Amino acid sequence: MPTNPASPASRIRPLTLLSLGHACVDIYQGAVAALVPFFVSERAYTYAAASGVVLAASLLSSVVQPLFGALTDKWAMPWLLPVSTLVGGAGVALAGVGGSYALTLALAAVSGIGVAAYHPEAARVARRAAGGSHTAMSWFSLGGNLGFAAAPLLVSGVVATGGLRASPLLLVPALAGAALCVAALRGVRAPAAATAAGTGRAVGRDDWASFGKLSGAIVCRSVVFVGLSAFIALYVRQRTGGGEVSGTVALFVLYLGGAVGTVAGGMFAARWGRVPVVQWSYALTALAVAGVVFVPGPLLYVCVALTSAGLYVPFSLHVTLGQDYLPRRVGTAGGVTLGLTVSIGGLASPLIGALADATTLQTALAPLIALPALGRLLLRGLQEPDMPEAVTGQTSGSTPPSLADGVVYKKS
């Protein structure tokens, strides 16, 4: 009896490598925000100018990520994983040495494009490797959260010691991530010969209405997360009277709490379902953000942690829900849920920065309280989708698709 290549044992190593590679890539999403305080202190950028760097990394990413998703719906492009990792790292690594503001914006945009190219293909490969398990998919998302969490520590350790001109050292995670991606793809391709009959073709109907509601909620979440990422370090320094360390710790807590929330989200969904967990997380996040804005002193860190967990409990669930609402366009779903709707939050950061310049950071962050509540309203009435047979690998009368399906075959 042939060995099932989609067995849990055969999934562990590729998923582990993909998760670690995801961590290396998402360092560069977190690194852009982590560089903001240093741009303010070393280059005397205003809040609006500094947030413009975050916008540059987000703007092109938000536009091109669905494009990459649509392309991966037609052609498997596993080579995008290592190449995009290197591009994302190179943009951030060189941003600190570019003398002009325009060059800094351009390099941040290059990094954003690299991150955009990575996620749709990586999400599709990871979903195959996860075999339909929400918990397994949450571990893949956890890798990205850990990358976010490591970003402020890495940036602070490098730039606080050597200044912005030491930023080329930030390329090291990209080199490691590219190597991990290559190793993961080899592990994913290995079982292909045993199940060459697999097609990786999704079965089901696309539910665009539900996907649209989900996407609107993710936009609300994105604005909150990007806004806090860009300004929480400066805000905590003001509110607590601490130095750079206090701001770095706050940003680290914001990202690390997401790691806990992501794993919890997968576990909660396995017990109560994805849609109820996502709905409750948005409702509770609104209260946590209010705490960030108004609670003084050391308790502010607790509110930051609760906000982070609330924002990230639904993170991996967004991806799998999107893929299951659009079972025939998995790459597009990944490009939107991991790309357009997430990156579009960066569009709001200059507005927050401009309002902070005109008033105070606290006033500028206060509108973020309403967004999770709006997201919860958009999710009202959302139904749990069926999981496509191509994900679960249980198509009647056929051999279960291998982990390589959708990676080595062209899809129609």
Is residue 33, in this structure, part of any structural domain at all? yes
Yes or no: say if 221 and 371 are a contact pair by the CB < 8 Å rule: yes
d(CA 284, CA 292): 13
CA–CA–CA angle 302, 366, 294 (5° rounding): 40
Per DSSP, helices labelled H in 241-338 are 244-272, 274-294, 299-312, 315-325, 330-335
**Within-domain flag for 176:** yes
In what helix (H) or strand (E) does residue 10 lie, and over which residues does it extend? helix 8-43
Contacts by 77-82, CB closer than 8 A, 24 or more apart: 77/121, 78/121, 78/125, 78/185, 78/188, 78/189, 78/407, 78/408, 80/117, 80/118, 80/121, 81/21, 81/118, 81/121, 81/122, 81/125, 81/181, 81/184, 81/185, 82/177, 82/178, 82/179, 82/181, 82/182
| pLDDT for position 189 | 56
For residue 275, give its domain range. Answer: 8-387
Closest by alpha carbon to 132, among 330, 307, 301, 335?
A: 330
Dihedrals phi, psi of 299, to nearest 5 degrees: -60, -15
Which residue carries 């943009």 as its tokens? 91
CATH, residue 337: 1.20.1250.20
Residue 392 lies in a domain: no
Give how many domains the chain has, as a whole number: 1
**Burial of residue 409, with CB atoms counted within 10 A of its CB: 0-12 exposed, 13-18 middle, 19 or more buried:** middle
> Please, which pLDDT band fits residue 275 given cuts at 50, 70 and 90?
very high
The whole-angstrom distance between residue 321's C-alpha and the CA centroid of its chain comes to: 15
Closest by alpha carbon to 81, among 149, 183, 192, 169?
183
Count the Cβ atoms, other than its own, within 10 Å of residue 384.
13
Supply the pLDDT for residue 407. Answer: 32
In a domain, 190, yes or no: yes
Range from 51-60, 114-123, 137-146, 297-306 that averages highest in pLDDT = 297-306
| Inside any domain, residue 281 | yes
Q: Has residue 112 been placed in a domain?
A: yes
Whether 402 is covered by a domain: the verdict is no
Rg, Å, the chain Cα set: 20
pLDDT for 189-243, tens place per residue? 544 333 333 334 445 788 999 999 999 999 999 899 888 988 888 898 888 877 7
How much is the pLDDT for 11? 60
Highest mean pLDDT among 56-65, 67-76, 237-246, 268-277: 268-277
Does the pLDDT of residue 404 top 50, yes or no?
A: no
Residue 382 inside a domain? The answer is yes
End-to-end CA distance of the chain: 31
Of 337, 111, 345, nearest in space to 222 by CA: 345
CA dihedral over 120, 123, 128, 129, signed as positive or negative = positive
Residue 55, exposed/middle/buried by CB under 10 A (0-12, 13-18, 19+)?
buried
> What pTM was estimated for this model as a whole?
0.68
Identify the band that residue 354 occupies on the pLDDT scale cut at 50, 70 and 90.
confident
132: alpha, beta or left, given left = phi > 0 and alpha = psi -120 to 50?
Answer: left
